[in-house]
Amino acid sequence: MRFIADLHIHSKYSRACSPALEPGPLYRWSQLKGITVLGTGDFTHPGWFSMLQEQLVPAEPGLFQLKPELARQQDRNVPASCRAAARFLLEAEISCIYKRDGKVRKVHHLVFAPSFEAAARIGASLGKIGNIRSDGRPILGLDSRDLLRIVREASPEAYLVPAHAWTPHFAVFGSESGFDSLEECFGDLVGEIFAVETGLSSDPPMNWRLSALDRVALISNSDAHSPEKLGREANLFDCELSYGAVFSAIRGRYPKWFLKTLEFFPEEGKYHVDGHRKCEVRLEPEETIRRKGLCPSCGRPVTVGVLHRVEKLADRKKGKKPSGAADFEHLIPLKEIIGQALRVGAGSVRVDALYHRLLARFSNEFHILRELPAKDLEKEGFPLLALALDRMRKGEVTLQPGFDGEYGVISLLAKKDFSHQDQLALF
Amino acid sequence: MNDSELDSNQRAAVLATEGAVVIAAGPGTGKTRVFAHRVAHLIRDRGVKPREILAVSFTRSAASEMRERIAALLPDADLSDLWVETCHAAALRILRAEKHPFPELAIAEEEQRLELLADIVPRGEAKAWLEELRGSKQRLEWPQDEASQRYQEALRQRGLADFDDLFLFVLRLFDERPEVLERWRGRFRHIIMDEFQDTSLAQYRFISRLAGKDFCVIGDPDQSIYGFANDGGSAERFEPFTQFAKDRPDRRTLALSENYRSQGIILDAAQQVIARNPTRLPRQLRARLERGMPIDISGHQSDRQEAEMVVRRIESLLGGASRFTVDTGWARDEADSRSYGLSDIAILYRLNAQARRFELALERIGLPYMTYGKKTKKDGREVLAEEDLEDFRDNERAAPSLVHPAGESITLMTVHRAKGLEFPVVFLTGCEDGILPYRREGDDSPSPEEERRLFYVGMTRAGSRLLISYARKRFLFGKTLALEPSPFVADIEDELRRLEKSEALPRKQPKNKQPELF
């Protein structure tokens, strides 16, 4: 079957994350978004682990579902148009901070487990090394290679995938504290790495420029810190619904099973180009190089973004798609599109009201973004939305890239699109 | 400088193998390197056999590290006969070899000692009684009272000895059987002793009896911080360097004065502090590193706030430990633009009881840390000497780390325990008058000179960054104390420091508010 999976999120136990990140609301939001398989996040956290054990029951092999009585409560707040199966897959993120070859490395990794038993074994091993109780995404003074070994020893079906591989501060290829290659990071165990998560600020074509990544799959996830952000990036599969099938599809990079990733425009990500947020300085990579990496405002080194870093490590030009690579599709969160059409912030009450109205009228968010004919929106009385959606699908967007922690801005509509009549038509 | 290279002072210290030699080695001057090279030089260039050398280290971890360094310098030599031991271990090896006073001598554990004492001393008094006994043994006096004799007899029957009995036994053996002493003295033609400033009377007597013509001691009087533990309660403090000068008037003194560990500003500040010790002989260390960053000195309202600020500062030194800290700008930019790792950072304090605040603050953020040393919840008056002593004994016995975690972590330990260690970043905390220097009511406070040396030891652990902090209020041993900054802090001149106001948590300021008042 065809389904969407978002394999990297967080729970309420992670630092700076929404208290709403509990199994029930996650189940509800999976349906609103159109996600069939959702990572649990944070399974190493003892509080979250027991909450998952209490509220989930086994579903298909390696997947879990919300207990029926809890699901019924949540379903009251899910419009019939969105009701669908929603599954969980045990996932956690670990922050490794350690020194290698005299340099400080800070690298985040995703860890996946096929069962509560395997997850408990990983938790127990990590609990001996450091503090896994304070933060759902624990910080450990552990070498990435050693983490990989612990994960692989916990179960033959437990896996590690480097998270948001290009973000400057906390990633395997990060400009600030990462490595130049997977080999450098994982040493003799590099063969166990079969995928990397591309992160919001990079998309597959950027990653295709490194021939070293030809052998790994590129996956995309939301890294959501609140339920509404679920699925802002995700993966589209067409395979059996099970833990084993999902990872076979990824590991084998079977284009018939692992169809595509659903992506941000990478410019929208927080670390796409270079710059200094505090100095309000945004630099394209060429400009940074010309300025020898220094901020024109404060004179200190700028935060080098993902585009620059890819450029630095790339060994081929744009345009080549490695064989076996999954396809991709650029999307913009529906609330942002609505916000642009209404000319208000994506977080406003009006946007929220219209969002839920559209979901109830049509179907889940992914359906609206990817499949709903634009003319249906027009017929329903939303011509500007239809226009914006159409432009997103065609990639006709204006981009103001993100830098140094500042999200980029993607514009779908221009001033001239807003005529008096259209404005009225919205209501 | 790689390990095979030596500067001219170091080379002179390595080559001076004849006679009695004092190597005065300030912090970070390459003492361990000189020690290892000296041993290697004797074996490789002077034809001395490994079995003819006794190398004495202060702790077991130092001894094993020393052995590795010597082995690295002599990859082809068979070093199985080379003794690199602590004083206690050397005494125990000799006693076991001589089967004295009984064949299988073992050291009594704390629990065993208390168990044996159950019939001899009322339970509540056992610990104090043992302390007293220890004092007399430290003065090399066999206790004569009935209870002590019963206790020693109970130990003997089980083939046990107290830790402090070792030197009494071995010296008695040497007295009673001169041929045994001659045999060992004939074997160890070269004796080298590290951390000499903290040698106790008993240890010194033992090693100096064994020593022949070629006897080298290495140490730094400015880093002597265990005087209280070594004087056995006697009125007169045992001064190892003074005693050595008396016993070996023929001695030569060589100084290591180039410091390779600390940046210039840190070293200058440390010397400004130690120079004020009245009985100290003037001497100067030279920094080989750059000047570096000024010393951060910050005052805080309370110990809780001190801990929060230390942890926040650690986050920025790490270059942001989480996306949250990076994205919110919580991690401030550090002027040296260098990011440090977890294991580069140490939080040092005077009393183990100060650790808890830091642990709580680190837990909240989820940063990995490792606290070395025991926690005590007793009244501060009795606790201090006891816990310093605990650090001292742990140092004698084993590596300061009793557990080795697989992951890196931030180090939390007392200044006493940090002796001999170094960290790129040191937070020297709780620098308040009454805490460091520590003072108790009554006249049993630690010597102010020794407390100043302790502060100096704390400062000189730092390589690149030294951050000194104090609190106005501190909750300690069930009481809230109102405190003034340590007088030692005032001895650091203004040019070397950067005063920091304790920062309140960042609050959003209205952007258009102009600082018109200024």
The complex's ipTM?
Answer: 0.84
| Residue pair A167/A201 in contact by the 8 Å Cβ criterion | yes
User: Which pLDDT band holds residue B495 (cuts at 50, 70, 90)?
Assistant: confident
The number of C-beta contacts closer than 8 angstroms across A and B is 95
Summarize pLDDT for A250-261 with one digit per residue, the tens.
999 999 999 999
Does residue A345 surpass a pLDDT of 70?
yes
Going through A121-252 in order, the beta strands assigned E by DSSP cover: 139-140, 159-162, 195-197, 217-219, 234-238
Does residue B515 surpass a pLDDT of 80?
no
**Helix B178-187 vs helix B165-176: angle between axes, to the nearest 10 degrees?**
110
Q: Pick the residue of B311, B318, B325, B326 with the most A CBs within 10 A to test the interface with A by mutation.
A: B326
Tell me what pLDDT residue A417 has: 86
Amino acid at A97: I
| Average of per-residue pLDDT across A161-189 | 94
Burial of A350 per CB tally in 10 Å (0-12, 13-18, 19+): middle
Q: Pick the residue of B322, B328, B358 with the most A CBs within 10 A to test the interface with A by mutation.
A: B322
Which residue on chain A is closest to B330 by alpha carbon?
A278
- Structure tokens given for B299: 């005052």
B364: chain A residues, CB-CB within 8 Å: 134
Q: Does B405 touch chain A (CB under 8 A)?
A: yes
Report the residue from A138, A146, A300 with minimal CB separation from B337: A300
- Structure tokens given for A42: 């944070």
- Structure tokens given for B303: 């110990």
Tell me what pLDDT residue B299 has: 95
A301: chain B residues, CB-CB within 8 Å: 337
User: Which pLDDT band holds residue B393 (cuts at 50, 70, 90)?
Assistant: low
User: Which pLDDT band holds residue B503 (cuts at 50, 70, 90)?
Assistant: very low
B323: chain A residues, CB-CB within 8 Å: 16, 167, 169-170
Do B322 and A138 lie within an 8 Å CB cutoff?
no
Q: Which of A16-25, A34-43, A297-306, B459-468 bottoms out in mean pLDDT, i.e. has the lowest?
A: A297-306
What is the distance between the alpha carbons of residues B483 and B474, in angstroms, rounded to a whole number? Answer: 7
User: Which pLDDT band holds residue B509 (cuts at 50, 70, 90)?
Assistant: very low
Tell me what pLDDT residue B324 has: 63
Do A141 and B339 lie within an 8 Å CB cutoff?
no
Nearest to B159 by CA among B128, B202, B116: B116
In whole angstroms, how far apart are CA B144 and each of B137, B147, B148, B150, B151? 11, 8, 7, 10, 11
Mean pLDDT of chain B: 86
What is the distance between the alpha carbons of residues B67 and B205, in angstroms, rounded to a whole number? Answer: 24
Tell me what pLDDT residue A160 has: 98
Does residue A424 surpass a pLDDT of 80?
no
- Structure tokens given for B333: 């930019």
Do A139 and B367 lie within an 8 Å CB cutoff?
yes
Q: B504 or A274: whose pLDDT is higher?
A: A274
B371: chain A residues, CB-CB within 8 Å: none
- Structure tokens given for B337: 């633009």
| Residue pair B467/B334 in contact by the 8 Å Cβ criterion | no
What is the distance between the alpha carbons of residues B273 and A36, in angstroms, rounded to a whole number? Answer: 66
Going through B140-230 in order, the beta strands assigned E by DSSP cover: 160-161, 190-193, 214-219
**Gap from A13 CA to chain B (nearest CA, Å):** 12
Does residue B22 surpass a pLDDT of 60?
yes
Number of residues assigned to chain B? 518
| Average of per-residue pLDDT across A399-424 | 83
Do B368 and A98 lie within an 8 Å CB cutoff?
no
Summarize pLDDT for A297-313 with one digit per residue, the tens.
998 889 899 999 999 99
DSSP H or E stretch at residue B420: none
| CA torsion, ordered B284, B285, B288, B291, to nearest 10 deg | -70
Q: Which of A124-128, B166-170, B320-324 bottoms out in mean pLDDT, i.e. has the lowest?
A: B320-324
Q: A382 forms bridges with which residues in the sheet?
A: none
User: Which pLDDT band holds residue B73 (cuts at 50, 70, 90)?
Assistant: very high
Q: Does B401 touch chain A (CB under 8 A)?
A: no
DSSP H or E stretch at residue A100: strand A87-100
Do A300 and B367 lie within an 8 Å CB cutoff?
no
In whole angstroms, how far apart are CA A379 and each of A158, A254, A368? 48, 39, 14
Q: B432 forms bridges with which residues in the sheet?
A: B485
Does residue A419 surpass a pLDDT of 80?
no
Do B363 and A131 lie within an 8 Å CB cutoff?
yes
Do B323 and A134 lie within an 8 Å CB cutoff?
no
Tell me what pLDDT residue B3 has: 59
Residue with tokens 């007597």: B205
